[in-house]
Amino acid sequence: MENKLIGTGVALITPFKSDLTVDYDALTKIVNHCIEGGIDYLVVLGTTGESVVLTKEEKNKIVRHVVKVNEGNLPVVLGMGGNCTATVINEYENFDLDGVDAILSVSPYYNKPSQKGIYSHYEQLSKSFNHPIVLYNVPGRTSSNMSAETTLNLANNFDNIIAVKEASGDMDQIMTIIRNKPDNFLVISGDDGLTLAMILMGANGVISVVGQAFPEIFSSMVREGLNGNVKKSNELHYQLYPIYNPLYRDGNPAGVKECMQEIGLCSNKLRLPLVNVESSTKKELEEFSKSLKTS
């Protein structure tokens, strides 16, 4: 399975209509846009998908819809995590996982477990899940960092823990993992702007936000980087570089939804407590999207 997660994955947004119900027609367009744009796999119900404000019924329906539209073209990774180990296992056991290839599970948040607690959490998931597991370290959201030592211990001790999505931004930690990981364990970037740097240090790809808006450019950058074509990958990186700051300035997925509204894929609607970006940010994102669309 790990070979299928090399390259560019995208953390799909959940598009909403004006009444804030899920816009399944727009979701169809987004999935097809990613497939046609050269994306390597799809990630459903991650943070970017606003999973925390979706009902259980909506989550199931969204996954079933993505699987149906995808028609087996790309691997599908499902975001499923939380800060109660037993609850995560119960959700896994009661979710329709047909068509799902792997689980992306975020490190427990809010209750700030120790490294031993984080390890024990994933140990229980490993023993309970029949799917491959991608660890997700994102201290900016969880308020705790999964150390390189913990990641490496999990990678070495559990065969179905196959990768880590690293969004710590700590390049020393990331290099420590890359240098010491098992050969078949993947390191996946969780930061669009750091993706190329991580790939050139030995990472295996990215789970991207902006990649669903501009899949051809972003996936080409990743592909060129993985193939060692530094000059071309740098050209593509710097073509996208101006968008990274405004994309996340006022929150995710508020930024990428503005881009996707501009290119005609969906509306920019969000569910509270998320709100739309500020007008100055919106102008930057619209102008950048227009420039790429016409270039």
What is the rounded distance in angstroms from the CA atom of residue 227 to the CA atom of residue 21? 42
Which residue in 119, 122, 165, 282 is the catalytic one?
Answer: 165
Burial of residue 116, with CB atoms counted within 10 A of its CB: 0-12 exposed, 13-18 middle, 19 or more buried: exposed
The answer to whether residues 162 and 2 touch, using CB atoms and an 8 Å cutoff, is yes
Beta strand pairing call for 76-79 and 41-44: parallel
Mark whether 244 is an active-site residue: no
Task: Name residues whose C-beta falls within 8 Å of residue 235's C-beta, 6 or more positions apart in sequence.
Answer: none
Residue 293 falls in the annotated catalytic set: no
- The conformational region for residue 45 under phi > 0 = left, psi -120 to 50 = alpha, else beta, is left
> What are the C-alpha distances in Å from 169 to residues 2, 5, 113, 131, 290?
23, 21, 20, 27, 29
Spot the catalytic one: 136, 181, 257, 269: 136
Query: Which of 202, 201, 206 shows the shortest CA–CA distance to 183?
Result: 202
Angle ∠(180,183,185) on CA atoms, nearest 5: 85
Which residues participate in catalysis according to the annotation?
A: 136, 165
